[in-house]
Amino acid sequence: MPQYPFLDAPLPLAIAHRGANSAAENSMAAFASVIELGYRYVETDARATADGVLLAFHDATLDRVTDRSGRISALPYATVSRARIAGTEPIPVLSDALGTWPDVRFNIDVKEASAIRPLIELLRRDGLIDRVCVTSFSDARLAAVRDALGPRLCTSLGPRETIRLRLASYRDPGTYRDTDAGVPPRAAGCAQVPARLGRVPLADARLVAAAHRRDLQVHVWTVNAETEMNRLLDLGVDGIMTDDAVLLRAVLEARGQWHG
């Protein structure tokens, strides 16, 4: 049984990236559509407004996906709340998304330092630690959340830890030590990695084996092609994040691995 309740589910995990809806990503409508499809894992992002309201939103600015412009961290929530994703959908407050679907587990990417404290407060206040996995492209942001919430919280490896795991994966398994990836025991539950760096596969048999020797799951993002989904599943990865929720479900069903 996995150490973390977040990971305690039949494998592989099917994870809907930003709600897996390219037109209205990270909206309540996007989340609802994949949950209705049977997904129980949703990936989203955390950013805070100037007055500390924590949102499920990826970009630093409103410009790309909404009908308004401006940097979220510089705007009050009263202004941001008037923006519409794809011209129709409001930006969700993260607590609303978590509260609307209490049986769904959320993978949360902390996008900037201003989101750290509101996220910590939300997870503590609403007793959500067992329902989330926190990740970040910043080692410092990830460390701050880990330090505040302790070993019950599931997190992914940070960027430096992932590099160390990649390097360790090339070593002879006979000389492999649990500390080779620089990850303290029980500090993380999974390695979340891109499928490739350019044309070079990052998620390969060596990486999967090295992670599994450390009792780390491997979740790969963002995978939208059937051939790549099958390649990764054949390697034994533990989860796939996708923008194409319909395709991933079909691939898993064909393999007898859909657990929605």
What are the catalytic residues? 17, 58
From the number of C-beta atoms within 10 Å of its C-beta (0-12, 13-18, 19+), residue 71 rates as: middle
Closest listed residue to residue 34, CA positions, set 48, 19, 49, 47: 19
Give me the DSSP letters along the chain.
--SSGGG-SSSSEEEEEGGG-SSSTTSHHHHHHHHHTT--EEEEEEEE-TT--EEE--SSBSTTTBSS-SBGGGS-HHHHTT-EETTTEEPPBHHHHHHH-TT-EEEEEE-SGGGHHHHHHHHHHTT-GGGEEEE-S-HHHHHHHHHHH-TTSEEBPPHHHHHHHHHHTTS-GGG--TTTT---TTS-SEEEEESEETTEESS-HHHHHHHHHTT-EEEEE----HHHHHHHHHHT-SEEEES-HHHHHHHHHHTT----
Tokens 């002879």 -> residue: 172
Please count the CA atoms within 13 angstroms of the CA of 252 that sit on its side-chain side. 25
